[in-house]
Amino acid sequence: MSAVWLKRLFLSALAAFMTLPILVIAGVALNEKKTLAFPPQGFSLEWYAQAFTDDGWRAALVHSVLVATAAAAISVSIAVPIAWFLWRRVAPWARIVEVLGLAPFILPPVITALGALSFWATTGFYGQPWTVVISHGIFFVSLPLVTVTLGFATIDREIIEAGMTMGADDRTLLKTVVFPLVRPYIISGFAFAFVLSLNEYIVAYMTVGFTLETIPIKIFNALRYGYTPTMASVSVFFVLVAVVVFGLVARFGDLPKLLGAWSEGDKG
């Protein structure tokens, strides 16, 4: 069947297109000398080790992880009450808050970045390390907002009715029924916000670009002032983190459903 082969060729070509850049940077980080040659000349794991042993890169890594963890926590703390309120209450006006939560992600990122820059400069906090945490927290609200809203939508309201008939009040229901049901969606939302914050450049650059080096800022600076194989090894490490995190989300959750497919149980 030539049609089947055509389809396989098409899928393989796209798979190659998506993995080639990553393979090449994984390769150039193996060079023995400080060069970005491919195929690598000589073999050394030195550049992979440097991502953790070099003071500058390690500091950037720590900054990135701290910022992403705190920012994802802020995103979730804003998104969960919105999703819960819209699920629990009849309040059309509250949709405005929802739209505000989704807007930063729909608009070009440079808008949020420039807004953050104007805001922190006007309030006099420009350059403070914590400003990027808040700005990232706001920037990524949309991700947990989407996943948690989906989580609430999957709750069968009859279960809640049953709980109420048995005499449970709002607080008990929230703690024993609602929260356990939406918890996987909260965790996925946190994971999405975390990985995107790790990789975010423009908002971080416009808020703390000159005072705090995150990994994307450090890679960009290295691009301008001299390539090193370390930037390649760090990039490979970042790809792995993303794949592991999304792999875990898929392992413990229903990824196709999370991304909008109908749940059909086991398809194969």
Partner 1 sequence: MRRTPPERAADYFPIAYPAFMLGLFFVVPFAIMVAVSFFRRVQGGFYEPAFTFANYGRFLSVFFGEVLVFSLVLAGLVSAVCLLLGVPFTYFLTKLSRKAQVFWLVALLGVLSLSEVIIGFAWSTLLSRTAGLSNLLVAIGVMDRPDAWTPGFAAVLTGLVYQAFPYTVLVLYPSFSRLDPSLMEASRTLGASPLKAFSTVVLPVLRKTLIATFIIVFIFALGAYLLPQILGRPQHWTLSVLITDQAVYQSNMPFAAAMAVFLVVASLSLVVIVAALNRKGAGQ
Site for partner 1 in 87-116 (CB under 8 A): 87-91, 94, 97, 100-101, 103-104, 106-116
Q: Is the peptide bond before 216 cis (omega within 30 degrees of 0)?
A: no
User: Interaction with partner 1 in 17-36: which residues (CB under 8 A)?
Assistant: 17-18, 20-22, 24-25, 27-28, 35-36
Shortest Cβ distance from residue 58 to partner 1 (Å)? Answer: 18
Of 187, 178, 157, 174, nearest in space to 255 by CA = 187
In order of 28, 210, 216, the CA distances from 221 in angstroms are 19, 11, 9
Chain residues 208-267 in contact with partner 1, contact rule CB under 8 A: 209, 215-216, 219-220, 223, 231-232, 235, 238-239, 242-243, 246-247, 250, 255-256, 259-262, 266-267
**168 near partner 1, rule: CB under 8 A:** no
Q: Are 25 and 223 in contact (CB under 8 A)?
A: no
Question: Could you say whether residue 161 binds partner 1 (CB under 8 A)?
Answer: yes
Phi-psi region of 228 (alpha: psi -120 to 50; beta: other; left: phi over 0): beta
Answer whether 207's CB lies under 8 Å from 132's CB: yes
Stretch that binds partner 1, among 51-59, 65-73, 84-92, 179-187 (CB under 8 A): 84-92
For 149, the enclosing helix (H) or strand (E) is: helix 142-153
CB-count burial class (<10 Å; 0-12, 13-18, 19+) for 37: middle
Count of positions on this chain that bind partner 1 (CB under 8 A): 98
Q: Which is nearer to partner 1, 55 or 268 (CB)?
A: 268
Q: Determine if 9 is a binding residue for partner 1 (CB under 8 A).
A: no
**Least separation in angstroms between CB 179 and partner 1:** 13
59/239 with CB nearer partner 1: 239
Candidate list 45, 56, 85, 125; residue touching partner 1; CB under 8 A: 85
For partner 1, the binding residues in 119-148 under the rule CB under 8 A are 119, 122, 134-135, 137-138, 141
CA-CA distance, 31 to 181, in Å (whole number)? Answer: 49
50-59 burial, b at 16+ Cβ within 10 Å, e below that, comes to: bbeebeebee
CB closer to partner 1 out of 55 and 262: 262
Provide, rounded to whole angstroms, the least separation between the CB of residue 258 and partner 1.
9
208: three-class secondary structure by DSSP: helix
**Window 43-82: contact mask with partner 1 (x via CB under 8 A):** -------------------------------x--xxx-xx
Q: Closest Cα partner for 199 from 256, 240, 141, 255? A: 240
